[in-house]
Structure 1
């Protein structure tokens, strides 16, 4: 058994405190302003806080702890820059939150948004927490660590490039740009940014699974992929974009989530 149970309890406990603090501050700012969508800005920092906690307090392999923390923090910093730009660019709350929370009391909003997100952050980061308290084995299984790092980097690059392409498209005057972004990575997947995000967290799981105990945290990447595809990501975006001119044709030509050569228009 290469898992330090006592250390894992410490890492998990402090991680829970860090995530709770971030969500509490966000809720305190967001609710009075009727901007519950500020929760989007707390997602990356919460996950980075868990990774840094594991790196600082864990007793597992130090190279893996700090590599994971560095990659997660870089991923979170880029996402936070993107989220803050979008939140500051709007004077009103995102319709997703307004519709979802219509008629909800303050207590219900806290539970539906901020508590749910805190629990999700702790679930998604479970592989990182377990890995922080685990040593690497001496056999071939330890190679899952560099493989996972490679997957994380690839996912971060895909997500970053996709978001940049989307921002470049959105910056064009509406009357001059195509009705649908279908070039670059968007010619291979209708949601390459979400795909890159999922790849990043799949990689985090693979890197952690180099230690056998962390292999049992497979519900974490499953949950993240569910969030990105069904709960808050791609499927929800599809519904929103359904009536945009040219989008139904785009759906016929380009893969939904996993990149695949598209059909020519």
Structure 2
């Protein structure tokens, strides 16, 4: 284990630098454009940058199969997410969540955005990605735990990608303006994309946990799930939607908030 830790320390510094570079560029772009919604595009790209940095830095270490698997899974997830968010936000103004935060800013709004949006996201990004970084150096070969991790990642990726596609198509129909999507995956969970995210990162942790000391990074997926459920994900988004759409309250009553479950009957 001491050999693994000695290899990890310098790479952890490099991956920290990768996070700083990606979010630093996003911050500069956000200041110049006058909106910081682009940080959500950088979210997926930052994880890809961390995975690629760790992959390159650990060249010759760990298991080749696990290293490539971790890199590919993160790249597929991160690039799809970044492309989806970039397409979704094209031609639109500030994200309502960030707009509400910036309204409370005292002093320089750019400094406030840096300290309250970019820095927290950077810290979470680096911490959540620890299983991926460790997966690049651990040894132990393939196992049932790794296979379970890939399966959970796949379930999460499908929920996230399909959920995003269903929501995009729903919003593209002018007849749905002001309505609440309660069909498809959104019939069973109010946040199929967030549930998918949780599965993706728990699956990636299992890929790392299939060999010692990857299991020690268990707090990373826990942090991601907590953030999605009670942090800047579900909780903040639902407050914004609830303020704008009164009928959303009935949808909340009928539909599971996170885990996919059969919906309750509509009230008459």
Matched, 1:111 2:115: yes
Q: What residue in structure 1 maps to residue 80 of structure 2?
A: 78
Q: What residue in structure 2 maps to residue 261 of structure 1?
A: 262
Deviation, 1:135, is 0.9
Contact 1:22 1:42 in 2 (8 A): yes
The CA distance in 1 between the partners of 2:256 and 2:113, in whole Å, is 35
User: What secondary structure is seen at the aligned counterpart in 2 of 1:242?
Assistant: helix
Contact 1:47 1:76 in 2 (8 A): yes
User: What secondary structure is seen at the aligned counterpart in 2 of 1:112?
Assistant: helix
TM-score normalised by structure 1 residue count: 0.91
Matched, 1:127 2:128: no
Q: Which blocks of at least 5 consecutive residues in structure 2 are unaligned? A: none
Structure 1 residue ranges (4+ consecutive) displaced by more than 4 angstroms after TM superposition = none
Matched, 1:167 2:168: yes
The CA distance in 2 between the partners of 1:158 and 1:193, in whole Å, is 6
Q: What residue in structure 1 maps to residue 248 of structure 2?
A: 247
Label 1:3 to 1:193 Cα distance change in 2 as closer, same or farther (>3 A): farther
Deviation, 1:177, is 6.5
The CA distance in 2 between the partners of 1:80 and 1:184, in whole Å, is 23
The CA distance in 2 between the partners of 1:184 and 1:199, in whole Å, is 19
Label 1:178 to 1:187 Cα distance change in 2 as closer, same or farther (>3 A): farther
Residue correspondences, number? 260
Label 1:256 to 1:3 Cα distance change in 2 as closer, same or farther (>3 A): farther
TM-score normalised by structure 2 residue count: 0.90
The CA distance in 2 between the partners of 1:251 and 1:25, in whole Å, is 37
Q: What residue in structure 2 maps to residue 147 of structure 1?
A: 148
Label 1:179 to 1:187 Cα distance change in 2 as closer, same or farther (>3 A): same
Q: Which blocks of at least 5 consecutive residues in structure 1 are unaligned? A: none
Label 1:205 to 1:245 Cα distance change in 2 as closer, same or farther (>3 A): same
The CA distance in 2 between the partners of 1:208 and 1:198, in whole Å, is 16
Label 1:62 to 1:3 Cα distance change in 2 as closer, same or farther (>3 A): farther
